[in-house]
Structure 1
Amino acid sequence: MSTRPPGHAAIVRAARAEFAERGYGATSIRDIAQRAGVSLSALYYYYKGKQDLLVAILDDAQDAYFSSCEQALAEAGEDPAEQLEALVEATVRYRSTHASKSNILLSEERSLEPEHLERYRADNARSTRRFRDIIERGVQDGLFLTPYPDDARRAVIAMCNAVAQWYEPGGALSEDDLVERYVSLALTAVEYRPRAPRRASRTQA
């Protein structure tokens, strides 16, 4: 988890908006200061430059996303299907509610300097492991019948992340309906077979 200086919020909001609208490369530090309504010297008091601001934005997005996932999984119990449902729901809700943060998080990896990039990729790997471990346990337990667990995992992550690029809050599709749809798609991708019907069929046999 990252620590951030007090008084930074307006600057980070301005940087996030500029990066979302222009991209990191096309945004100047002066653009950010003007948007935040602060002097360059005030901005530099908190951050050394654009790279520090990008890292602060990515840290904030990662922290919030990981926190929502951890809470969802803590409430899901031990069943792999329920865990996958919880993780998909947490991801879809975060991507739909925080589209700007998510799009910067997903698109500006190329703008990170090497020392920050290494840590960012380690965080991404941790996120991927969550999905992979759940799907692998589901396959081992006979709940997920997909013969392609790695491909299923990649498909589920990709579709959840893409929500930030197209979903419009307040539109015809509610967030709850979006979550229900994506949970169904994820369980289909892993070829989920519930335990109860399989037990019932064995009893009848």
Structure 2
Amino acid sequence: MVTAESYEAKGRSGEASAPRRSGAPRRKLLMSEIIEQAMRLFAQRGYDGTTLQDIADAVGLSRPNLYNYVKSKEDLLVAMVEATTQSAADSLREIRRRTDLDSTGKLRLLVRTLVLRRAEQPAQFRTLDRSDQALPPKIAEKHLRGRRAVLKEVTAVIEEGIKAGRFRPVDARVTALSIIGMCNWVAWWFHPSPSHPAEPVAEQIAENAVAMVAREVGRTPEAPTPLGAVALLQQDLDYLTRLLTTGNGEEGIPRDEV
């Protein structure tokens, strides 16, 4: 593992040399190490119980040298929020806007993307989740906006699938919250390894999400019975009622915290 000591020594004297990595400059590697150690300490001691000196010691830097990378603990929280919520929302928005995928394909890819992010950055997600109440107000608002944006994108794809007749007329927002919760929980229970990669888990959870909303094929007879037709009509009426009562054409847009 590349240590901060080798980086700092190289910066001071030029005698130590950090391993070369394609596309990963020295500063980016050390910044990743700083964030990783900060997340570990935040998880162990809490945000308020961790100092910049603690982080500097964990990385192996002097505190003055640490200031070359971060000026405050808030800088580290901003980096975590951008990596876990805002970046995720941007990725999901790109998927929702794709024209080469139908709603089923979009939902599958949305879920797969979220699961892989949680599996690859579990410490960042867990740290923010545990520290949510202790976040400084501006960062807490930034985090909340990112979470709402994620919910909005998933909800919009489910609404799209309902309107296209691919998904059952479910409550899109509640279903989106359920799916997001299923993805987020991966950060707590999944531990990837060479023999247990994240991709198959992401594929399975994506299929589970699609199964939650997809209209069942082959269950509706070509000539439905009167009672069967009434049941299908009632589903559509229930869905229409929810749209009318959510108000002003803003269905699917979250109105409170995720």
TM-score by length of 1: 0.79
1:189 has 2:212 as partner: yes
In the alignment, the residues of structure 2 paired with residue 76 and residue 170 of structure 1 have an alpha-carbon distance, to the nearest angstrom, of: 35
Structure 1 residue corresponding to 2:155, chosen from 106, 117, 132: 132
Give the secondary-structure state (helix, strand or coil) at the position aligned to 2:67. Answer: helix
Give the secondary-structure state (helix, strand or coil) at the position aligned to 2:165. Answer: coil
Q: 2:3 maps to what in 1?
A: none
Q: 1:180 maps to what in 2?
A: 203
In the alignment, the residues of structure 2 paired with residue 56 and residue 96 of structure 1 have an alpha-carbon distance, to the nearest angstrom, of: 18
Deviates more, 1:152-161 or 1:13-22: 13-22
Matched ranges for 1:31-46 at <5 A: 31-46=54-69
Residue 109 (structure 1) shift: 2.5
In the alignment, the residues of structure 2 paired with residue 72 and residue 140 of structure 1 have an alpha-carbon distance, to the nearest angstrom, of: 18
Segments of structure 2 that go 5 or more residues without pairing to the other structure are 1-26, 224-258
Give the secondary-structure state (helix, strand or coil) at the position aligned to 1:108. Answer: helix
- Code of the aligned partner of 1:167: F
| Conservation of the 8 A alpha-carbon contact between 2:162 and 2:168 | yes
Structure 2 residue corresponding to 1:51, chosen from 49, 74, 77: 74
Query: Which structure is higher in helix share?
Result: 1
Residue 150 (structure 1) shift: 1.9
| Conservation of the 8 A alpha-carbon contact between 1:76 and 1:82 | no
1:109 has 2:132 as partner: yes
Residue 160 (structure 1) shift: 0.4
Greater CA radius of gyration, 1 or 2?
2
Structure 2 residue corresponding to 1:119, chosen from 142, 158, 168: 142
In the alignment, the residues of structure 2 paired with residue 115 and residue 93 of structure 1 have an alpha-carbon distance, to the nearest angstrom, of: 28
Deviations for 1:91-126, whole angstroms, at most 9, x for unmatched residues?
111111221122223333322212222222222211
| Percent of pairs with identical residues | 27
- Code of the aligned partner of 1:193: R
TM-score by length of 2: 0.64
Q: 1:3 maps to what in 2?
A: none
Give the secondary-structure state (helix, strand or coil) at the position aligned to 2:185. Answer: helix
1:94 has 2:130 as partner: no
